[in-house]
Amino acid sequence: MTMPLPVSHMALVRARAGRSMDLGARLSSLIEPTLGAPGCLHFALQHSLCDPDLWQVCGFWRDAQAMTAHFNSPALNVFAQLVQDGVVERLDFHTFSEVSRPQDMQRLAG
């Protein structure tokens, strides 16, 4: 039986000029609910040391099902609201699966 592999997501979020602290405050509202979400292994909000308008949101999940369930939760509406309110200049969102064994690479290639 194949065990589900951990998965992760990463979002790089660039604030509009003058809106970085507002963006950070609103993104921080994700920390508690995400850490308490079923299957969440780790979640972090980080602020760039080199670019005051750049934030990173990343999470690690037990499996894709847990991550997808979180993506469908009301807590994630904050991203749509940030875009609608003009706080975000750019949002790059990516999901990843762990590749830790040769058979994982075969699965990806097939």
The pLDDT of residue 5 = 80
- Mean pLDDT of the 61-69 span: 95
- Three-state DSSP state, 69: helix
The model's pTM is 0.84
Torsional sign, CA 66, 98, 82, 49: positive
* DSSP β-ladder status, 7-15 and 54-61: antiparallel
CATH 3.30.1490.100 applies to domain 7-109: no
Q: How far is the C-alpha of 44 from the C-alpha of 57, rounded, in Å?
A: 6
* Mean pLDDT over the full length of the chain: 90
Q: Please count the residues of the chain.
A: 110
Domain boundaries, the chain: 7-109
Q: What are phi and psi of 57, to 5 degrees?
A: -120, 125
Is 29:78 a contact under the CB 8 Å cutoff?
yes
The pLDDT of residue 44 = 97
Q: How far is the C-alpha of 14 from the C-alpha of 24, rounded, in Å?
A: 10
Tens of pLDDT along 12-58?
Answer: 999 999 999 999 999 999 999 999 999 999 999 999 999 999 999 99
